[in-house]
């Protein structure tokens, strides 16, 4: 069902160009279809701000429920931004306090780049806690990505992330651990998912606190879990929203950090992502960087376009299917009334009847 272009956000035009159905508000008003209002908290840094918008909008727009999806982007002023992106946010994003007054059916919390060893020392920690506390009482469900998952499980269940010896970075095979949960209904029992994190939590930590682990990997451990009530918090440690080139762009940024002297060693490949044809190109570029020996004035540009034609997306169909199931459950149990979400005759501690 269509997204509604409820603002002039440029990402809506980009999605239309990709073939995504996006309705103008005028057309939407003439359709007798129920609305769902989804907040999207974008905590990603400037370089990934607009790409993250499009990634999560695609996931919402791919849902096949008969509903109009009104998306409401917001972020935190505590996150440092260049003026160009502050202007973008001023023009197209909304204020969380106004969203609280208007009410939301569900919220998506993006990940963020960790800058502090203690997550509670991040500049966005306190405003994020306000969002989590409000959402826990006032929306049907919250979908969390990576660092947002780490923040939620620490806040609500006292589960602390830990630092890995090496960054978990690449595309990993996952297996569904519970086919009975409606969030994973009709999903491939084995599927790929990208990960990119230095800190993580694991499946055992969550299960010890009564959370349901729905998908995990032998290599990357936890991919997907859900809160003990089965719906309130959908917790991804992986990134189902990533584009095919997201890890390529991250790899390029790591090479730039090496060239700029920010990191000491040339970055390793993301696991299970670049294959033989890509690696030949990447090895040739690495040799040119090393030959430059610090004088990069004549270094050719990173071959991003050439490589983008060689990487594959092996995860988005499954990611969209899980989000489709999630929004279907939100559609079933959320009742927007007087700007607030109420459950329709269900036990808030077990809205899906999983424990009955």
- Residues involved in catalysis: 146, 239, 241
Residue 124 to residue 109: CA distance in whole angstroms: 12
Name 282's Cβ contacts closer than 8 Å, sequence gap at least 6. 269, 274, 307
- Of 99, 16, 101, 108, the closest CA to residue 327 belongs to 108
* 329 neighbors 65 (Cβ within 8 angstroms): no
Name 331's Cβ contacts closer than 8 Å, sequence gap at least 6. 34, 36, 65, 67
Residue 252 to residue 298: CA distance in whole angstroms: 18
Burial of 156 per CB tally in 10 Å (0-12, 13-18, 19+): middle
Joined together, the tokens standing for residue 129 give: 């806690």
Residue 63 to residue 56: CA distance in whole angstroms: 12
| Residue count of the chain | 356
In 218-316, DSSP assigns E strands to 221-226, 233-236
């Amino acid at each position: 069902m269509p997204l509604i272009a409820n603002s002039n956000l440029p990402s809506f035009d980009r999605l239309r160009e990709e073939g995504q159905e996006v309705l103008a508000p005028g057309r939407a008003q003439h359709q007798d279809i129920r609305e769902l209002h989804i907040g999207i908290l974008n905590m990603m840094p400037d370089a990934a701000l607009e790409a993250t918008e499009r990634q999560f909008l695609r996931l919402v727009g791919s849902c096949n429920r008969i509903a109009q999806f009104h998306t409401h982007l917001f972020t935190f002023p505590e996150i440092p931004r260049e003026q160009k992106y502050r202007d973008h946010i001023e023009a197209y994003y909304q204020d969380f306090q106004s969203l609280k007054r208007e009410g939301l059916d569900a919220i998506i919390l993006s990940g963020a780049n960790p800058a502090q060893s203690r997550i509670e020392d991040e500049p966005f920690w306190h405003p994020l806690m306000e969002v989590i506390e409000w959402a826990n009482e006032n929306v049907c469900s919250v979908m969390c990505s990576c660092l947002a998952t780490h923040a939620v499980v620490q806040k609500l269940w006292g589960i602390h992330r830990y630092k890995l010896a090496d960054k978990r970075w690449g595309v990993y095979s996952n297996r569904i651990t519970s086919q009975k949960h409606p969030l994973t209904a009709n999903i491939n029992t084995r599927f790929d998912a990208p990960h990119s994190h230095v800190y993580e939590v694991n499946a055992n930590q969550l299960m010890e606190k009564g959370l349901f682990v729905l998908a995990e990997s032998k290599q990357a451990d936890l991919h997907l879990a859900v809160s003990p009530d089965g719906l309130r918090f959908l917790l991804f440690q992986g990134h189902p929203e990533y584009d095919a080139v997201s890890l390529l762009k991250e790899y390029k940024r790591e090479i730039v950090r090496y060239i700029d002297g920010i990191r000491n060693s040339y970055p390793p490949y993301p696991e299970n992502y670049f294959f033989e044809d890509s690696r030949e190109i990447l090895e040739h570029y690495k040799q040119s960087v090393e030959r430059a020996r610090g004088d990069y004035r004549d270094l050719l540009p990173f071959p991003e376009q050439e490589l983008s034609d060689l990487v594959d997306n092996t995860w988005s169909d499954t990611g969209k299917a899980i989000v489709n199931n999630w929004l279907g459950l939100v559609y079933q149990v959320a009742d927007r009334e007087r700007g607030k979400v109420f459950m329709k005759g269900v036990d808030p501690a077990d809205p899906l009847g999983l424990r009955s």
